[in-house]
Amino acid sequence: MLIAGVLTDAASGARYDNIDPATEQVIGDTADAGAADVDRAIAAARTAFDDGVWATDREFRKHCLRQLHEALQDEKEAFRTELVAEAGSPVSITYMAQLDWPLADAIAYPAELIDDFEWERTLPDTELFGAVSHRRVVKEPIGVVAAIVPWNFPIEVALNKIGPALATGNTVVLKPAPDTPWGAARIGRLVAERTDIPAGVFNVVTTSDNGVAEQLLVDPRVDMVSFTGSIGVGKRIVELSAATLKRTFLELGGKNAMVVLDDADFGAVIPQSMIACMHAGQGCALPSRLLVPRSRYAEAVEIATATFGGIAYGDPTDPANFSGPLVNARQRDRVLDYIRKGESEGARITVGGGRPEHLSQGYYVQPTVFADVDNTMTIAREEIFGPVLAVIPFEDDRDAIRIANDSPYGLSGSVWGGDPERADAIARGIRTGTLMVNGGMFYGADSPYGGYKQSGLGRQNGREGFEQYLQTKVVGFR
């Protein structure tokens, strides 16, 4: 771990095993923090913010973040190997959003935004009480930020929290998921060994016990919690942080709809629903509902079934495989329970539906397609987080929008159609924080990411995400 500028074990000496989800074998161990370690990390971050220059010296922050960016590039291949080993990520997707894309801009973009951002602005003078008052609006860092990241895209999410939080002058305690601690620990080592970031500004605490990590939510020395993960944990964070009224950023997943219109090229578009199986479906922006016109429903089911039946999955170190294992046995069993629930509610499995017979080790689930799905079914409403697609019919454009919006989530989705204006009109009617029309990508460190409804609070990345980590002060003076 990294606490107060020192690479350290847990105070108790405790460690826990790191498991490769593709082999179910122990690949190493990790420092297992207890309450005393979390307390030390919070204290270090608090002192560094209150007594150091990090919050006020923007040029110094930019210098340090550029150092970190370069250090991350130098260890790209080590990060790649670790992601495959501890997250079970197929190596092929590490060249995209899993690693290469965020390494390119997650730290570099907010570092450059330091120069472009409007840190102060002037309001018009007033003459209240018979005298002229000048006024200015000032943006200042919040303070200590607890950054809590998930196991599915652990480096991507961590860097996109670290970058803007540090660039805006905050100090950080980074808490990775218990299943994927090594990437965060590597970032901590790079901060300690390759940058001039002062002691305590950035801390990394790894622990197998999320109960220990809950100290970050209740400690009054922590000013903000930035969390990406499940809706259940997100609600828990709001509940525990309410006592001290911490600011919270929450990105809580989705039940994303891929809407295919009747004028789309089904042979070219429907196969793209296979993205639902990328990284075994463990992605909050991946589509899990395929909405198609009732008039072409049978055709869509047939194409989706053939597509999912041909998806290469298995050993994540093999570049040919698009889908790998679930992260652990608990998650695998959760996905299988959802599949059984779908069958019990009347949906029909057209391909997949269980554990693969040819993979005796690893937490694998077959790519699965459900037909005859009604949007009221559990598999259409709850986030499964596995390689499962539900195909749902709609009557017309208005009905497609209705079904897409008939969800407690509102994170992402896509619309596909031959008429771009028609597709865009439907996209404007869908209540999600991000959307793709005919494959247009929104991703980037400059692109605000987050959701409507129960998909979360606030935005990560972009100017909106940058300002998420700032307070607003107004000063009147004569």
Tokens representing 199 are 């002691």
Contact, 280 vs 385, CB < 8 A? no
What pLDDT was estimated at residue 87?
A: 98
Contacts of 306 (CB under 8 A, 6+ apart): none
For position 247, what pLDDT does the model report? 96
pLDDT in tens, 110-157: 999 999 999 999 999 999 999 999 999 999 999 999 999 999 999 999
Q: Are 20 and 179 in contact (CB under 8 A)?
A: no
Cβ 398 vs Cβ 349: under 8 Å: no
What's the CATH code, domain 2-253+455-477? Answer: 3.40.605.10
Q: What is the DSSP letter of 86?
A: I
C-alpha to C-alpha distance for 43 and 49, rounded to whole angstroms: 10
Does the reported pTM lie above 0.85?
A: yes
Burial of 378 (0-12, 13-18, 19+ CB in 10 A): middle
Q: Write down the pLDDT at residue 383.
A: 97
What whole-number distance in Å separates Cα of residue 159 and Cα of residue 4?
20
Length of the chain: 478
Tokens standing for 42? 């919070």
Catalytic residue among 82, 86, 156, 251: 251
Q: Please list, in sequence order, all residues whose beta carbon lies within 8 angstroms of the beta carbon of residue 8, skipping any fewer than 6 positions away.
A: 1, 2, 31
- The whole-number pLDDT of residue 459 equals 97
- 193 annotated active-site: no
Mean pLDDT of the chain: 97
pLDDT recorded at residue 173: 98
The structural domains of the chain, with segments of one domain joined by +, span 2-253+455-477, 257-437
Question: Which residues are paired to 290 by β-bridges?
Answer: 258, 391
Tokens (6 digits) for 65: 């973040």
pLDDT, averaged in runs of 10, over the chain (478 residues): 98 98 97 98 98 98 98 98 98 97 98 98 95 97 98 98 98 98 98 98 97 95 97 95 96 97 98 98 97 98 98 97 97 98 98 96 98 98 98 98 98 97 97 97 96 96 97 97
Q: What's the pLDDT at 283?
A: 97
Q: What is the edge-to-edge ordering of all strands in the sheet holding 256-260?
A: 348-351, 368-371, 388-394, 287-293, 256-260, 413-416, 436-437
pLDDT for 142 equals: 98
**Long-range contacts: 71-75, Cβ < 8 Å, 24+?**
71/190, 71/193, 71/194, 71/195, 72/103, 72/107, 72/159, 72/187, 72/190, 73/103, 74/194, 75/186, 75/190
Contacts of 311 (CB under 8 A, 6+ apart): 274, 277, 322, 323, 367, 387
CA end-to-end span of the chain:
49
257-437, what's its fold? Aldehyde Dehydrogenase; Chain A, domain 2 (3.40.309)
